[in-house]
Amino acid sequence: MTENSPAKPLDLGYDRTRMAADRTLMAWIRTSVSMISFGFSIYKFFQYLRESDVLGQFPGAGPKFIGEALVILGTTLMGLAIAEYLVYLKWLSQQTGRPFPVSTPLIGALAITIIGLLILLNLFWRVWPA
């Protein structure tokens, strides 16, 4: 910059707001991963108890349904969080006139959603060996 040209102020508000949206998405990732992994663990633990006949005939399918519900809930919430993130960043880019870059949390969230869907395929239709 030359001495006579005025300094252009940095627009850090956009970057801070975008990074806050990234942090919110990362919080949803943590929550969804916890739900998916806990639900899968419950499902597999009680499946193991049932198949190994450790407790005799284990009554009811409640733990199985709770495990499936947690995996479904975690995967659904991850999908909704991605949608909310994209809508917000689209609005933010319209307000500022700056395009938003593809972020690492978005890539991670998409990967977690795919993994959650694959786990659901495994739980409901036993696509892969246990």
pLDDT in tens, the chain (130 residues): 455 656 556 678 888 989 999 999 999 999 999 999 999 999 888 888 877 777 666 666 788 899 999 999 999 999 999 999 999 999 999 988 888 888 999 999 999 999 999 999 988 887 766 5
Half-sphere exposure of 81 (CA within 13 A, CB side): 27
Contact 94, 11 (CB under 8 A): no
Torsion of CA 50, 56, 60, 61, to 10 degrees: 0
Token pair, residue 98, equals 């700056």
pTM above 0.85, yes or no: no
Identify whether 91 is part of a domain.
yes
Model pLDDT, residue 3: 58
Identify whether 8 is part of a domain.
no
Identify whether 81 is part of a domain.
yes
Cα 37-39-43 angle, rounded to 5 deg: 115
Half-sphere exposure of 119 (CA within 13 A, CB side): 27
Model pLDDT, residue 106: 96
At residue 3, what are phi and psi to the nearest 5 degrees?
A: -65, -35
- Count the domains in the chain: 1
At residue 9, what are phi and psi to the nearest 5 degrees?
A: -70, 145
Identify whether 76 is part of a domain.
yes
Identify whether 121 is part of a domain.
yes
Identify whether 85 is part of a domain.
yes
